[in-house]
Amino acid sequence: MDEIYYEPLLSLTVGLILIFIVRGRAERKRKILSNFKEAEGLVVDQKKSYSAGRVGSTIYYPVIRFVTEDEVLIKEQYTDGRYPIKYKTGQEITVQYFVDDPKEFLIKGDNPLLVNAGVVLAGLCFVLYSAFLLLKIFVF
């Protein structure tokens, strides 16, 4: 019976998932910025997402309200959450919304470049670790 090597497979899977999450976020941003309009928005609420256990495991997602160029009122939860709260309730912001679907929007200037770079780096580390394990199993 062939032996299954779970550790390198798990490491590779986690690494690829992290990389594809960042890639998906970049594609969404690219799609929105390919055909967008700007509008003034207001943070009207905060939705909380809890994780069991640690301090700081509560993620806050701002709920944004804005009016499109076509006079359509949009009130949606922003897709990117933060801890601690980055956008306070009542804070005015500028949104960049996708013309074809205004519920797809970005907060102007909200570019978590360091977070995305860190997630990609962690993903690459997992992939390299799995490659190292596979080399260790099959070569050495």
Q: How many domains does the chain have?
A: 1
Domain hosting residue 69, numbered range: 6-138
Side chain identity, residue 20: F
Q: What is the rounded distance in angstroms from the CA atom of residue 84 to the CA atom of residue 28? A: 24
C-alpha dihedral, 100 to 63 to 111 to 35, nearest 10°: 10
Query: Does residue 1 fall inside a structural domain?
Result: no
pTM: 0.74
Are 120 and 15 contacting, i.e. CB atoms less than 8 angstroms apart?
no
Give the pLDDT of the chain (140 residues) as one tens digit per residue.
467 778 989 999 999 999 999 999 899 999 998 999 999 999 999 998 876 656 557 888 999 999 999 999 999 999 888 888 889 999 999 999 999 999 999 999 887 788 889 999 999 999 999 999 988 888 87
